[in-house]
Structure 1
C-alpha cells in the first residue's frame, strides 16, 4: 500500500500539534508548580518570622521576670540583713545592761505579792504603771524568739512577693518550660 505524502504530512502535522500541545501543557504545569513552590516558601518564611518574633517576646518576658525576681531577692536580702543588725544591736544592749526589758504588771492583782514601785524614773515611758524587770537571760530568749519571728515574716513576705511576681502574667512562660 502506498501512502500518499499528503496523508503523511497531515499525520506529521497532527503529531506535531499533539507534541506542541503537550509541551505547552508541560510549560503551564511547570509555571503552576513554580508558583505553588514560591507561595509555599513565602508562607514558610512568614511562619518562621512569626515564630522568631514569638520566641523573642517570650525571651523578653523571661528577662523581665528574672529582673523583677532579682530585685525582689535583693530587697528581701536587705530586709533580712537589717533585721539581723537590729536584733544583734538589741542583744548587745541587753547584754551590756544598756537596755532592760520590763513588763507591765496588773496593779490590781495583789495575790502576786509584787512590791515593785509604781513610780517612774527619769527615763521611764509609762506614767504610774507598775513594771517588773525581766531577767537578762529571759530577755535574751524573748529577743531570740522575736528574731525568729521577724525572719519568718520576712521570708513569708519574700515568698508572697515571688508568687505575686510569677502570677503577674508570667505563668504561661513557666508552664511552657516544664512539659
Structure 2
C-alpha cells in the first residue's frame, strides 16, 4: 500500500506539491548551512589576516614611537649640555666683568682712550720724547673711573647678549637636526 493512496484524489496534487516544497526547503536549508560554514571559514581567515596586519602596524608604530622617544631623550640631553655650557660661559663672563670692575674701582687698572690730535689724527709720531726712551705711541687720556665703570657695564651687557645669542643658535641647530 502506498501512502498517497490514503489521501482523497482531490488532495493528491496538493500533497505532491507540499512534499516537493518540503524537499526543496530542506535542500535550500542544507545549502544555506553549507554556504554559512564555508563563508564563515573564509571570513574567519580574513579576520585573522586583518588582525595580524593590525598587530604588525601596531608593533611598527610602537617601534617608531620608541625610536622617536630615544631621539627626544638624546636631544634633551644635548640641550641640557648646551644649557650648562651657556650657563658656565655666562658665569665666567660675569666673573670676568666683576674682576675688571673691582680692578677699576681699586685703580689697579685704568681705562684710556686714544686722542685725535694733530693732522694725522694721533697716529703719527708724538712731538715730545722722554730722555729715557723714544716713544712713538699715540696720545692717550685716562677715563674717569665712573665712566670706565659705565663702559664696563655696557660691554658686559653686550657680552651677555652675545653669549645668549650663541646659546639660542646652538639650541636652534640642535632642534633642527
Classify the TM-score, shorter chain: 0.7 to 0.9
CA separation of 1:61 and 1:160: change in aligned 2, threshold 3 A: same
- CA offset at residue 2 of structure 1? 3.8
**1:72 correspondence with 2:51:** no
Match of 1:130 in 2: 139
Q: Distance in 1 between matches of 2:174 and 2:136?
A: 47
**1:3 correspondence with 2:12:** no
CA separation of 1:119 and 1:106: change in aligned 2, threshold 3 A: farther
Q: Any stretches of 5+ residues in structure 2 without a counterpart?
A: 6-15, 120-125
**1:98 correspondence with 2:108:** yes
The answer to whether the 8 Å contact 1:118/1:128 transfers is no
Match of 2:34 in 1: 24
Match of 2:45 in 1: 35
1:109-155, Cα deviation, whole Å (9 max, x unpaired): 6xxxxxx99668x9xxx853211111111111111111111011111
- CA RMSD, Structure 1 to Structure 2 (Å): 3.0
Question: What's the secondary structure of 1:68's corresponding residue?
Answer: helix
1:51-88, Cα deviation, whole Å (9 max, x unpaired): 11121122122112211211111111011000000000
**Which structure ranks higher in relative contact order (CA pairs < 8 Å, sequence separation ≥ 6)?**
1
Match of residue 139, structure 1, among 121, 125, 148? 148
- How many aligned positions are there? 154
When normalised by structure 2's length, the TM-score is: 0.73
User: Runs in 1 of length 4+ with deviation above 3 angstroms?
Assistant: 10-23, 116-120
When normalised by structure 1's length, the TM-score is: 0.73
1:79-114, Cα deviation, whole Å (9 max, x unpaired): 1000000000000111111111111223416xxxxx
Q: Any stretches of 5+ residues in structure 1 without a counterpart?
A: 110-115, 169-179
Which range is displaced more, 51-60 or 75-84? 51-60
Q: Distance in 1 between matches of 2:154 and 2:28?
A: 102
Match of 1:60 in 2: 70
The structure having more radius of gyration, on CA atoms, is: 2
The answer to whether the 8 Å contact 1:101/1:133 transfers is yes
